[in-house]
Amino acid sequence: LLLRIKNLLTNSKNRNNPEFENDKTQVKEPQPTTDNRQLTTIDIEWLAKVEKIAKREINNKNFTMEDLARELLVSQRNMSRKIKQITGLSPNRYIRTIRLQLARQIFETQEIYTLKEVSFAVGFENITYFSQQFEAQFGRHPSEFLFKMETV
């Protein structure tokens, strides 16, 4: 319990640290939060499997966390714990991060040219929500990113 409290305080301090706010365009690497152990190759492979499934099902509106857990052959609770342990993110937040990273890749490769198309391509139905989440993740509004890529 004391270790958990310590980690929560450390994470809170890191979020409020101005050093992290200077470069919001950098994607922050996931950090384990529930203990101080190093990631193993098994953890990395398992997380890669989660990411592969998430990318495959990105447009499936009926795909739930329960379905993801079933494909990983674990309970939903254990899946949530393991994702949280490895990445420091909840499963929903982790999947959202994957979607936003895919959106950024789409912007960079200029595969799709409108914000609405990118939003739908990565599984966001609400463009405003997508824009808010993209800006929170990368520090810039997606339309700015799109316009910058067009001028380059």
The string of pLDDT tens digits covering residues 51-86 is 999 999 988 878 889 999 999 999 999 999 999 988
Rounded to two decimals, the pTM is 0.68
Q: What is the pLDDT at residue 149?
A: 52
CA 120 – CA 107 distance, rounded (Å): 13
CA 115 – CA 131 distance, rounded (Å): 9
The string of pLDDT tens digits covering residues 15-52 is 665 544 444 444 444 444 444 557 788 888 899 999 99
Tokens found for residue 11: 């994470």
pLDDT of residue 122 exceeding 50: yes
CA 70 – CA 79 distance, rounded (Å): 9
